Amino acid sequence: MNTTSSASRRCLPLAAAALLAACCLGVTGCQIDAAGQTLPSPYHLTDDVQYYAPGPEFKLAREAAALKEMNAENISEPQR
């Protein structure tokens, strides 16, 4: 009896299943979460770009203006 042909016949479905699984993973891509980081899918280079308009450099502009105005009111004028 030929044992090599029966062994190869048993491995053929396993090899086909492994090849099919590898093809499915390669085609679909994956976006995973690893160590708190979201790693991009293979299609991240073709995604549309989201634009956020630049804001003021100093985030507390109104508070700084209010403090400056309050300090200007508290400055005493020189006596004559």
Mean pLDDT split into 10-residue runs, the chain, 80 residues: 66 83 66 74 73 79 91 79
How far apart are alpha carbons 73 and 67 in whole angstroms? 10
Amino acid 65: pLDDT: 92
Tokens 């090899």 belong to 15
Residue 23 lies in a domain: yes
Tell me whether residue 77 is in a domain: no
Does 52 reside within a domain? Answer: yes
pLDDT tens digits along 15-32: 888 888 777 666 665 667
In a domain, 60, yes or no: yes
Predicted pLDDT at 29: 59
Q: Does 50 map to a domain?
A: yes
Residue 80 covered by a domain: no
pTM score, two decimals?
Answer: 0.32
What is the number of structural domains in the chain? 1
Q: Which domain, by its residues, includes 8?
A: 3-72
- Contact between 31 and 40 under an 8 Å Cβ cutoff? The reply is yes
Is 67 within the bounds of a domain?
A: yes
